[in-house]
Amino acid sequence: MAENPHSDPSATEPKADEHIAQHHHPDWKTYVKVGAVLTAITIWEVWAYYIPSVVASRIFVPMLLTLSAVKFATVVMFYMHLKYDHRLFRVLFTGPLLIAALTLISLLFLFGQLVARFGR
Amino acid sequence: MATTAVPTRGTHHTATAPSYQSGVWSWLATVDHKRIGILYLYTALTFFIIGGLEAVLIRAQLQGPNRELLSAEMYNQLFTMHGTTMIFLAIMPLSAAFFNFLIPLQIGARDVAFPRLNAFSYWVYLFGGIFITLPIFFQLAPNAGWFGYAPLTTREYSPGINIDFWVIGLQILGVSSLAAAFNFITTIINLRAPGMTLMRMPMFTWMSFVVQVLIVLAFPVITIALVFLLFDRFFGTNFYTIAQGADPLLWQHLFWIFGHPEVYILILPAFGLVSEVLPASSRKPLFGYPVMVYSGILIGALGFGVWAHHMFAVGMGAIADSVFAVSTLLIGIPTGVKIFNWIGTMAQGSIRFTSAALFAIGLVALFTIGGISGVMHASPPADLQQTDTYFVVAHFHYVLFGGSIMGIFAGIYHYFPKITGRLMDEPLGKIHFWLNFIAMNLTFFPMHFAGMLGMPRRIYTYDSGQGWDTFNLISSIGAYMLVVSTAIFVYNFFRSRKNGEVAGANPWDAGTLEWSIPSPPPEYNFATLPNVTSRYPLWEGNEKDMESARVNLQEGKTAEQLHIVLPYSTIKPLIVAGAMVIMFCGLITTKALIFVGAAVLVGSLYSWLLSPLEPEHH
Amino acid sequence: MTAPAAHHYTSTGLDSRKIAIWAFIGSECMLFVSLISTYLIYKGRSLVGPFPHDVYTNPAGETFNPILNIPVTSASTFVLLMSSLAMVLALAAVQNKDLPKHTRGERVLGSSKLWLWMTALLGTTFLGFQAYEFTSFVHEGLSIRTNLFGSSFFTLTGFHGAHVTAGVIWLVTLLAIDYRRGLGPNDALNVDIAALYWHFVDVVWIVIFTVVYLLK
């Protein structure tokens, strides 16, 4: 649940150092590097889409989902500063994201778009 | 603990704070959370009475077999609007009245985080409520049940304008709830007074916080489900068109992903209120406070994993049925924990049986009955016998009437003196409680039997000789008695508002912060921000608590004298809310209205956002 | 966009508006998950074409090619990613407005107007790609009414496009303020929350690009 991790009373006390720490964001070089990584992953994804042997292989779907998750996490951590900001924001984002992801997965199971194979 | 550490009783005071402006304009332009709370309270009570009268008509029709008081069509409209009104226009906003009035007072804040957004939420609720309620007077009201199952609600099966009102009305009300939820989440996280740690927060504020998180996560889902329905009805999309391959369960799943958390959105605020009333009337701190917090959070979290228990009858397969049955049984545990903790709070306390306490104890008893029948249909085989019968109707009225409404009445009796400065009449309150308690059981208990005998929900009449007649007659008599008891409450409410006994700051000798300031509170709430060192500052606080409490009890000072900056009054939130509703009205009238509404919306929104909230601080 | 209420006491020391925007973003996760779930639930269930990745021949013998245009969408995806880069540089420029700037490079990096313009233009370019995509789909015979794919595809990507549009309007408003009185470190929070919204809309697209366009 979203509020659980910060129910520790000390976590939300005013902390001058954390307040200041917010402004210690990385400089533009990091941002450009992150942009280059994002571009590279996108090229990788599109490349995979056009290689029939990759599309046909069993790693195609897991690979694309992983790459997408990496891009997602990179933007959230660096461009949205979640890596550097107050941990309250991390809780406010990851809590709902977790519930959203679980809902998505449950719905896909319920509608038979995902099938769990037990045993062999 | 010392319950009389602060001399709060009998202090001289007047029933109206001196610095308040009066007049209609001051209410239209108010951004004060207390006034917005009062607006919510009056509006929601009005809708509560409308929804109640709808129920009375339903009961009059079902009083005996083959009655013809109502047509089948009118009956459909009445049960749809009874459910919709009670859930979205009565119970949720009654809770919102308490969120508004109490949360800032309980955490030691001068207002909510975004006062103008708060006013906006109220006006959207009012306009949306009127929008969805008016059609019943023209026999054009929504008629497909409060959960509006698609494809029944698609244009093909519901060609009239009725469902349009429902789809658009709920969409409007969703905006109100979401805006309020962001506001309260931020308020509770960020505006707690010094020392008010999360684990010192009053239980009502805690439960409210869980509810706001539920709203934030559940309402987007119904928003999307409604958008699909809106698009299907207005633009010819195929989300619910079975002939195009659409899945008839899509709406049901999306609706109940919202709908089950919604159940907790309705009950948790009442749980919170009871958790304030019982300690004050038992003169003991809440039993097992941390466990109460964690079980509230657990109820909220598990609330997202049980939705499909509303759908056992559709045949989801053994695995899905089992998973949702288990999660539903699990969620009974934290709920049961709460019941035992309330009993633990009362145990060995010197209980004062005030009206508020009676209603709170009523909740503990009646919600338990509703909880037990809930656990019964957590089991899929049992549920298959109960689905869509009056047994289910009995179950959810025990949790919503016996739970939410009883809890809200407890809250109203308990907090009326804080809101108005005067006490409600106790003898009348007790008559209200007993009549209400008896009538409620008379109305809803027989429904268990009628349901077990196979009486389905949502039939507008029935033949004699099925064993249902007596049960229905008793239910209807109970419903008429509920009208009498509610009338007594309304009389008491308005009489006490003018002529009630002057309450003083802390008539119940309660321990939380809201009782440390005058009743009604001055517009700035706290002359000095309190310094909190315990869960019940007025009971067990140290010298620091007492000092700020003494300062805050002083009356008659204006905000200017105390150099407190308050936000400007502004009409802009009302205009933005009105423009938004006009825009939505354009969908069912003429497209020109959409553009007019949108233009006014954008203009007034910019004007709002670019104008300062409050005077410059010097 | 109003003056911050920074002089009021807060329990976390954080600005309330930033907490609210994160709560809003959390809520938006559920909104887009509802849309994406529906898209995936209906994937492969359309009774008639055009289909996203497969050729479709209708009873009349007309043949429809797979409708998704991967090269164009890859370009628009790249554009939106770059707009996030521009946005983060705009925020840094506003935060560092008061720092002395000696070299030409520092002046370029420190120009909040340049980077806000860049973000808004890249966002508009993305919307242009989307408008092109939508109209060409309609020409090829796929409208929001055609089949389940059309309904769920246009609604999902349309909702995302509406979010981008709102973001562009937000950015233009910030630009107008920048031209009128200049954005300085005091406005950093206003730019910060706009940036958080913008990046969130970007990450939603990252998911949509994979789930809708690349997975067959």
- Residue C103 above 80 pLDDT? yes
> Least CB-CB distance to A42: which of C11, C78, C88?
C78
Query: What ipTM does the predicted assembly reach?
Result: 0.94
Residues pairing with B502 in the sheet: B422
Which pLDDT does position A11 carry in this prediction?
40
CATH code of the domain covering residue C94: 1.20.120.80
- Residue A117 above 80 pLDDT? no
Q: How far apart are CA A90 and CA A70, in angstroms?
A: 17
| Terminal Cα distance for chain B, rounded | 42
| B293 lies within 8 A of chain A by CB | yes
Q: How far apart are CA C130 and CA B342, in angstroms?
A: 57
Closest CA–CA distance from residue C13 to any residue of chain A (Å): 5
| Contacts with B192 from chain C: Cβ below 8 Å | 11
Which pLDDT does position C7 carry in this prediction?
54
> Average pLDDT of chain C?
92
Q: How far apart are CA A4 and CA B209, in angstroms?
A: 12
Q: Do C3 and B612 touch (CB under 8 A)?
A: yes
The domain segmentation of chain A, as residue ranges, is 26-83, 86-120
> Least CB-CB distance to C81: which of A18, A42, A46?
A42
- Residue C95 above 50 pLDDT? yes
Query: Which residue from B561, B564, B556, B566 is spatially nearest to B19, judged by alpha carbons?
Result: B556
B157-185: burial string, b at 16+ Cβ within 10 Å, e else: ebeeebbbbbbbbbbbbbbbbbbbbbbbb
Closest CA–CA distance from residue A7 to any residue of chain B (Å): 6
Which pLDDT does position B515 carry in this prediction?
94
Q: Do C206 and A75 touch (CB under 8 A)?
A: yes
User: Is residue B186 within 8 Å of residue B117, measured between CB atoms?
Assistant: no
Beta-carbon contacts below 8 Å between A and C: 133
What are the catalytic residues of B? Answer: 82, 111, 146, 176-177, 260, 262, 264, 275, 309-310, 335, 338, 457
The percentage of chain C sitting over the pLDDT mark of 90, rounded to a whole number, equals 76
| C199 lies within 8 A of chain A by CB | yes
- Residue C102 above 90 pLDDT? no
The first and second tokens of residue B199, run together, are 């684990």
Give the pLDDT confidence of B260-285 residue by residue, as tens digits: 999 999 999 999 999 999 999 999 99
How far is Cα of residue C56 from the mean position of the Cα atoms in its chain?
A: 31
Q: Do C81 and A28 touch (CB under 8 A)?
A: no
C172-206: burial string, b at 16+ Cβ within 10 Å, e else: ebbbebbeeeebeeebbbbbbbbbbbbbbbbbbbb
Query: Which residue from A72, A44, A74 is spatially nearest to A60, judged by alpha carbons?
Result: A44
Q: How far apart are CA B206 and CA B198, in angstroms?
A: 8
Q: How far apart are CA C28 and CA A119, in angstroms?
A: 38
| Contacts with A1 from chain B: Cβ below 8 Å | 210, 213, 297-298, 300-301
User: Is residue B425 within 8 Å of residue B496, measured between CB atoms?
Assistant: yes
Q: Do C82 and A35 touch (CB under 8 A)?
A: yes
Q: How far apart are CA C8 and CA B194, in angstroms?
A: 12
Closest CA–CA distance from residue A84 to any residue of chain B (Å): 20
Which pLDDT does position A24 carry in this prediction?
61
C8-28: burial string, b at 16+ Cβ within 10 Å, e else: bebbbbbbbbbbbbbbbbbbb
pLDDT beneath 50, residues of chain B: 1-19
Give the pLDDT confidence of C118-177 residue by residue, as tens digits: 999 999 999 999 999 999 999 999 999 999 999 999 999 999 999 999 999 999 999 999
In B167-196, the residues whose Cβ lies within 8 Å of chain A are 189, 192
CATH number for the domain formed by residue range(s) B24-569: 1.20.210.10
Most A-contacting residue of B216, B304, B531 (CB-CB within 10 A), to test interface: B304
Give the pLDDT confidence of A39-79 residue by residue, as tens digits: 999 999 999 999 999 999 989 999 999 999 999 999 999 99
- Residue C2 above 80 pLDDT? no
The first and second tokens of residue B61, run together, are 């029709």
User: Is residue B473 within 8 Å of residue B447, measured between CB atoms?
Assistant: no
Is C7 inside a domain boundary? no
Which pLDDT does position B547 carry in this prediction?
76
Q: How far apart are CA B143 and CA B152, in angstroms?
A: 10
